[in-house]
Amino acid sequence: MKKLLAEFIGTLWLVLGGCGSAVLAAGFPELGIGFVGVAFAFGLTVLTMAYAIGHISGCHLNPAVTMGMWVGGRIDSKVVPGYIVSQVLGGIVGAGILYLIASGKPGFELGSFAANGFGEASPGGYSMLAALICEIVMTFFFLFVILGTTHKNAPSGFAGLAIGLALTLIHLISIPVTNTSVNPARSTSQAIFAGGIHLEQLWLFWIAPIIGAILAGIVYKFLAPDKD
């Protein structure tokens, strides 16, 4: 139960911090943080939670990470469903808190609410195929870094920093393409509030990250099995 609560709180923080930066601060007149600021905000949420709850639950905060860790032989299959449910619920609560804050401004318009999308829902108008490839590849490398830095032979104490910076880099690359998911829980939380086309396209932001994560789990397990 403690692990599930940790995943709930951690994913709530990821959505509130990452998506909150996009909704509240990215476009603030003259002082907005822009794409770079949003990228760092997502990275910082993972970095901070890695050290806060990594020793409790492993700090997955992401159904794709949980799947990749399972395929990579790092966690038992029995914990997978509970982790995923906790992550999705944490993301939804985080989005709900963000909505309550954002809607407190006069003239508030929901807009995309930092939801993910392709085609007309993509910040740069990228196609479904481009979004699919981007999300698979970005999630693959995210899990590759996670599996590598948390390996028993990796230097201890630096995993959170490397993982947070990896997520920052991923956002710097892919925000224009899909608004960057690599996390089905984060995508679900925002799509529920944004509705419309974002809910219709949500399937891609479950399928692509999980495919990328599974591929990374297979590849890294081959390269460096986490056993004596």
pTM, rounded to two decimals: 0.94
Sort 171 into a burial class: Cβ within 10 Å, 0-12 / 13-18 / 19+: buried
In the predicted structure, residue 114 carries a pLDDT above the cut 70: yes
Quick: pLDDT tens for 17-37: 999 999 999 888 878 899 999
Mean pLDDT of 92-108: 95
DSSP letter string, 85-148: HHHHHHHHHHHHHHHHHHTTSTT---TTTT---SGGGSTT---HHHHHHHHHHHHHHHHHHHHH
**Is 224's pLDDT higher than 90?**
no
Tokens of 184: 């089905």
Would you say residue 9 has pLDDT above 70? yes
34-75 tens-digit pLDDT: 999 999 999 999 999 999 999 999 999 999 999 999 999 999
